[in-house]
Structure formats: C-alpha cells, structure tokens
Chains A and B, each alone.
Chain A
C-alpha cells in the first residue's frame, strides 16, 4: 500500500494558502471604507455640500465595499466568467427597475412641490423686475 507523501501534502497546503487573496488586507479596506462612510454621513449638509453629493458619495462607497466582498470573499474574481454574469444580472435588472421608476418619482408630491416653489420664485422675480 502506498504511504501518503507527507512532504508533498504539506507543500500542497502551503500552495493552497499562497493562492488565497489577502483577506486581512481586504478587511482593512472594508473597515476604512466604513469609517469614510460614517464621516461622509456626519458632515452637515449645506450649500457647499448638498444632499445629492452626500448620497452619491455614500452610494459609491457602499458599492465599492460590496464589490470587495463579492470579488475577494465570494471569490468572484477567481471564478468563471459565467458566474460573474449570474452575479451581475440582478444589478442590471435593479438598475432597469430604478430607471422605470423615474417617471413616478418626477410626478410625486415632493417633485410637484419643488416645481411649484420654483414657479412662485420665478413669478416673484418677474414682478420685482417690473418698472
């Protein structure tokens, strides 16, 4: 009966370990991005830092973190391309869903109130410009 080659097994284990991504490095990136998110969220909103900029920054940071988890912890970076296509499909469909919701968002009470406020402002400016 053949004895298992302990040396080759140990080498193979070391090979497995060397093939792994740097999980601790990814962990520190995730922690750093989370801290960045919290900082972006606590900075007060103002004319120099509008809500839309804050939201865009937060979404960008969250997508970056989600990408790190998918690519390194879920090993998507090292998988077949077909698995990547399966993983990206929901993202594509959800993006289409959001685009399809846009007409609804532009006809909501908030949107119509903003439009009304802008109209009133324009009307007031027009009156002020009258001789």
Chain B
C-alpha cells in the first residue's frame, strides 16, 4: 500500500481526526484536568454542605481583591487571543507584545495571590486550622487556590517559552497552531478561575 493510500485511509479513519493532533491532544489533557478541578470543587461542596460551622467566605476572604484578579485574568485572555490573531496574520512582533502582556497579567495574578495567602496566614489561617470555624475551610481554600495557582505558573512558563521562540524567529505564521494550543491552556486556566471565584469566594 502506498503512502498516499495510507494518508487517505487515516483522514477518514475516525470522526476524531482533527486539523491538528496537537490541538486534540491539548483538549484531551484539558478534559482530564477539568475532571480534577471538578472533583476538587465537588468535594469542597460536599464538605461545606456537611459542616455546621463553615465561615462565610465573603466575610473572611478579600472579595474586591479577588474580583480584581478575575478582571486581570479576563484581560489576559483578551491579550492571548489578540496575540494569536497577530501571528495568524504573520506579525511576530505584535504576537510577542500581546503574549508578553498575557504573561504580565499572569505574573501580577500570582503576586496578588501570594499577597492574599500571606495576609490570610498572618491572620491565622493554615492548612489544618483557622480562627473562624471549621478547620477544613483552610484546607480546601489552600488546596483549590494553590492547585489553580500552580496552573497559572505553568501557563506563564509555557507562554514564556513561546515568546522566547518567537524572539528567536522560530514562531511563524505557519506555526500559529502552537500559539493556539498554548492559548487553549491559558483560557482554560481563566475558565477554571471563574468557577473557583464563584464557589470558593462568592457563595
């Protein structure tokens, strides 16, 4: 069987066959990651529903600060799509600028999260205790926001590598797919924060 025949068979082999295997791979990874976050949030809900002395999050956690952090991640998602748009038009400098802004948004987010954690730790909130009520309040808070923060850190590094490659001229219009795949990860981090903000801070 010739190569051409094999390709022809592969292209119609499965309805999953995508335009980009990398994109499909990223989506499958994100689906797995979403289940991890989903399990964490469902577990949080179950623990909270069963606790009699759960503190009111809005009275303990800084809602204006985290509201601003949410706004920051939304802005960084816009700069991310603008960066993708730029590379699709072959403008590497503009892509680097927008991805740089996205990274900046991520770094500021992490800085604010570090500030929030430090502040809460100074007020007596720890993994196994807190002065306001059920001890699992601190455990769930640090686990969920920490897991999300680790994802933001991963995203900042990931985008840093893309910008580094862009500066070296290794990202071109033809390789816009790489930026799109990185963007999927970044938007997922934003999407998860939207849910974490609602479940952990607002409800």
* Least CB distance, B105 to chain A, in whole angstroms: 13
**Nearest CB on A from B203, distance (A):** 5
Contact (Cβ within 8 A) A37 B198: yes
A109 with B35, Cβ < 8 A, contacts A23-B81, A66-B195, A73-B77 known: no
Q: When A and B form their complex, what is the total count of cross-chain residue pairs whose Cβ atoms lie within 8 Å?
A: 131
Question: Chain B: how many interface residues by the 8 Å CB criterion?
Answer: 52
A66 pairs with B194, CB closer than 8 A: yes
Contacts of A87 in B (CB 8 A): 27, 30-31, 34
Measured as residues with beta carbon below 8 angstroms from the partner, the interface class of chain A is 35 or more
Is the CB of A115 closer than 8 A to any CB of chain B? no
**Given contact pairs A34-B70, A69-B190, A101-B46, A83 touches B198 in the complex (Cβ within 8 A):** no
- Return the contact of B39 from the options A13, A24, A97, A109 (Cβ within 8 A): A97
Residue A124, interface by CB 8 Å: no
Contact B190 A16 (CB under 8 A): no
Asked whether A86 lies within 8 Å of B39 as measured between CB atoms, the reply is: no
CA–CA, A97 and B38, complex, Å? 9
Flag whether A122 is at the interface (Cβ < 8 A): no
Identify which of residues 103-124 in chain A touch chain B, using a CB-to-CB cut-off of 8 Å: 104-105, 108-111, 113
Residues on A with beta carbons closer than 8 Å to the beta carbon of B203 = 54-55, 58-59
Interface segment, one of B84-92, B118-126, B136-144? B84-92
A residues less than 8 Å from B81 (CB atoms): 20, 23, 73
Stretch in B47-55, B109-117, B164-172 touching the partner: B47-55
Q: Is B1 interfacial (CB-CB < 8 Å)?
A: no
The answer to whether A94 touches B42, judged by C-beta atoms less than 8 angstroms apart, is: yes
A110-B51 CB under 8 A given contacts A16-B88, A62-B195:
yes
Q: A30-64: contact bitstring with B at CB < 8 Å (1 yes, 0 no)?
A: 11001001101110000000000011001101100
Are B42 and A101 in contact (CB-based, < 8 A)? yes
Q: Which residues of A contact B180 (CB under 8 A)?
A: 75
Task: Say whether A108 contacts B50, CB under 8 Å.
Answer: yes
B187 to chain A, nearest CB (A): 4
B35 touches A94 (CB 8 A): yes
Which residues of A are found within 8 Å of B187, using beta-carbon distances?
A: 69-70, 73-74
B residues within 8 A CB of A40?
Answer: 202
A-B contact pairs, 28 of them (CB 8 A): A23-B85, A27-B75, A34-B74, A37-B202, A38-B63, A38-B202, A41-B63, A41-B202, A58-B202, A59-B198, A62-B195, A62-B199, A66-B195, A69-B187, A69-B191, A73-B80, A75-B180, A80-B15, A82-B16, A86-B31, A87-B30, A90-B35, A93-B38, A98-B45, A101-B45, A108-B49, A108-B50, A109-B51
Residues in B lying within 8 Å of A, measured CB to CB: 15-16, 18, 23-24, 27-28, 30-32, 34-35, 38-39, 41-42, 45-46, 49-52, 58, 63, 67, 70-71, 74-75, 77-78, 80-82, 85, 88-90, 180, 183-184, 187-188, 190-191, 194-195, 197-199, 202-203
Nearest first, the 4 closest Cβ-Cβ pairs linking A and B are A108-B50, A94-B38, A90-B34, A62-B198
